[in-house]
Amino acid sequence: MENIAVVMVETLYPENIGAAARACANFGVKDLVLVRPKSLDQEKMRAMATKGGLPVLENMKIYENLEEALAPFNYVVGTTARLGRQRKVTETIREAAPRLVSLSHQNKIAILFGNEKWGLTNEDLYHCHLAVTIPTAEAASLNVAQAVVIILYEIFNFKAEVPLKKPTLATVQELEPMYRILKETLEAIDYVPHDNVVLWMTTIRRFLSRLELTSQEVRIIQGFCKNLLWHLRHKDRGPE
């Protein structure tokens, strides 16, 4: 669990930050990361964190940019209650938990939670290798701190059932340049539909995420794209 981090995006209420810190402490998670929190009222956060969650609260990191916050992580999991076509949700957290436990032995994993009003946006989910949901009855939306508890509980439950260790994956910092040059390459061969580029690239990213790319494999894809772009740009030029 020490390689798991809870990342909360644009959290509105400091009480939920404190409650999330307490949940992290309950399940052995040390890293709490905030992205553009709306309020950091210390009294309200500390009251909900209680004594056990205070060390997590005191060591939390705060960022203004999501991509910067995710840069050190090898694998990013988004959480959502909305299951529309653009969400690309294919697993519950219980189904995903064994794989996350296996990956966590040699990889840093970020679990991403959206704010209390609208959750994670499609743009936030764009950065995720995987999106998971918590099955509920008709009232699908959970309080964000409750969602943190359930997600961490499901992962913690599987921590003793570890299959073969997974290799160290590429970090988000390594993946993002690869995705940018891949998008540039697909546009150069007119393979990206122009009506919804974000949805198309989200599909590409999720497909590649299932391959669990290592740093070396990312460099191979980047090298291939650079080579292809060079040839595309020089194909109509004669010898100099």
**What pLDDT digit, counting tens, does each position of 131-140 carry?**
888 888 766 6
Among 49, 53, 2, 54, residue whose Cα is nearest residue 28:
2
Q: Of 157, 184, 200, at which residue does a domain stop?
A: 157
> Within this chain, do residues 134 and 96 fall inside the same structural domain, yes or no?
yes
> Within this chain, do residues 25 and 104 fall inside the same structural domain, yes or no?
yes
pTM of the predicted structure, to 2 decimals: 0.70
> Within this chain, do residues 89 and 208 fall inside the same structural domain, yes or no?
no
- Give the range of the structural domain holding residue 128, as residue numbers without chain letter: 4-157
Element (H, E) at 158: none
CA torsion angle for 232, 236, 237, 239 (degrees, to 10)?
Answer: 100
pLDDT band for position 14 (cuts 50, 70, 90) = very high
> Within this chain, do residues 44 and 120 fall inside the same structural domain, yes or no?
yes
> Within this chain, do residues 87 and 126 fall inside the same structural domain, yes or no?
yes
**What pLDDT digit, counting tens, does each position of 33-88 carry?**
999 999 999 999 999 999 999 999 999 999 999 999 999 999 999 988 766 555 56
Q: How many domains does the chain have?
A: 2
Question: Which segment, 52-56, 77-81, 122-126, 234-238, is predicted with the most confidence on average?
Answer: 52-56
Backbone angles phi and psi of 225, in degrees to 5: -65, -45
Q: Of 157, 184, 202, at which residue does a domain stop?
A: 157
Q: Is residue 167 part of a domain?
A: no
pLDDT of residue 21: 95
Stretch 180-208: mean pLDDT: 85
pLDDT of residue 161: 55
Residue 234 has pLDDT above 90, yes or no: no
Q: How far apart are CA 143 and CA 236, in angstroms?
A: 58
Q: Is residue 138 part of a domain?
A: yes
Among 9, 64, 62, 68, residue whose Cα is nearest residue 31:
62
> Within this chain, do residues 120 and 206 fall inside the same structural domain, yes or no?
no
pLDDT of residue 157: 85
**What pLDDT digit, counting tens, does each position of 94-117 carry?**
888 888 988 888 899 999 999 888
Q: Is residue 166 part of a domain?
A: no
